[in-house]
A and B are shown apart, each in its own frame.
Chain A
Amino acid sequence: MRKAFYLLPLLAFLTLITWFGLALRPDHDPEILPSALIDKPAPVFDLATLGGGPNLALSALKGQVVLVNFFASWCAPCRVEHPILMRLAAQDHVALYGIDYKDRPEDAKRILAQLGDPYHAVGLDPDGTTGIDFGVYGVPETYVIDKTGQIRKRFVGPLTEQALQQELLPLLKSLNAS
């Protein structure tokens, strides 16, 4: 019985290691904060658009699956994901809308002219209020909003090819089917 006590440190340690092992899973990134709005209605927004024209409002987006991508001209990782966004837009799986976060409209126009414009429309959020409503804590962030206007998933950081193939496209497929 007394000898069993001496086993306790080892057992505690093995439990710890198991936990560490779980935490090291490749699909698991501790840096990423899960969105507080998953499966909740997307926050209402009504923003002026880049290039004039009618405002970009949440109400107008209902009935279809949309991607809302927060970006900025000063954001380097946004440029990294841009080709993927262009491809998404070209393949037309989903309506892609952009929100220009804490940026000057002329700068946004410039880089979209430079890199290509994958968005159906770009809303302007110069002071970041819409970003705060979405719980944005950095750019780029991409939100998947379903037909009823609920947020289903958030991608933090630039969209990678892997995330695109393994998470985004399957999700879009299932949302479109429903």
Chain B
Amino acid sequence: MRRGLASLGVPLLAALLLSAALSTAAPFGAPAFAVTPQERLADPVLEARARAISQTLRCLVCQNESIDESSADLAHDIRVLLRQRLLAGDTDAQAVQYIVARYGQFVLLRTPVEPATYVLWYGPGALLLAAGLSAVIWLRRRPGADAPASVPPLTDAEQQRLDHLLRDTDP
């Protein structure tokens, strides 16, 4: 059934897609659009912590949205849960760990740096280095990119004319 509904799809608000797939009608609990005033904690420091952490937790039914942004019911539930944990005295790390213990590492938007992800995190830098080096080596390996000795130097007038031509006919 879920697949059948998915086949209607093209760009979708994923939260709405999956909510629709999971429930033919939601007469109560219409999607709440992201953080609602009712969810907010009274203590501004705790609330700020909650918002900051929420932005690093993935909404599992929306792909690529954080729970802070998402309007899905599950996102709402986890936002509330997070605030409960902070109220109970958890540190940021403990609150996050509580959620990761239940939903797995996939819930972390910031991919952890571990052996399985070394290629991911260090790959781009390594690639840039390799590409840069290749370009430099290629530039240096070509024969006589600097002054070819057999050609007589240009006179001043010729050089001026050349500069004029080169600068004025370019895109």
Contact = CB atoms under 8 A, between A and B. Distances in A.
B93 interface: no
A155 interface: no
Nearest to A37: B102
A72 B19 CA distance: 13
Interface in B50-98: 60-61, 73-74, 77-78, 81
Contact size range, B: 20 to 34
A33 B21 contact: no
A36 B24 contact: no
A163 interface: no
A77 B106 contact: no
A74 B104 CA distance: 27
Contacts of A33: 60, 103-104, 106
Contact of A74 (B23, B78, B81, B101): B23
A75 B77 CA distance: 18
B157 interface: no
Contacts of A158: 1-2
B25 to A, nearest CB: 7
Given A132-B78, A137-B60, A139-B22, A36 B1 contact: no
Interface in A1-59: 33-37, 43
29 contacts: A33-B60, A33-B103, A35-B104, A36-B102, A36-B104, A36-B105, A37-B102, A43-B102, A72-B23, A74-B24, A74-B25, A74-B26, A75-B22, A76-B21, A76-B22, A76-B23, A77-B1, A77-B2, A77-B22, A102-B73, A132-B77, A135-B102, A135-B103, A135-B104, A137-B60, A137-B74, A138-B22, A138-B61, A158-B1
Interface in A47-99: 72, 74-77, 80
B102 A134 contact: yes
B46 interface: no
A37 B105 CA distance: 12
**Chain A to chain B: the 7 pairs with minimum beta-carbon distance, closest first:** A36-B104, A77-B1, A135-B102, A137-B60, A74-B23, A76-B24, A135-B103
Contacts of A137: 60-61, 74, 103
Contacts of B61: 137-138
B126 interface: no
A133 interface: yes
A109 B38 CA distance: 31
Given A36-B103, A128-B77, A133-B102, A77 B21 contact: yes
Given A36-B101, A138-B61, A132 B22 contact: no
A3 to B, nearest CB: 15
B1 A76 contact: yes
A164 to B, nearest CB: 16
Given A76-B24, A137-B61, A138-B61, A132 B104 contact: no
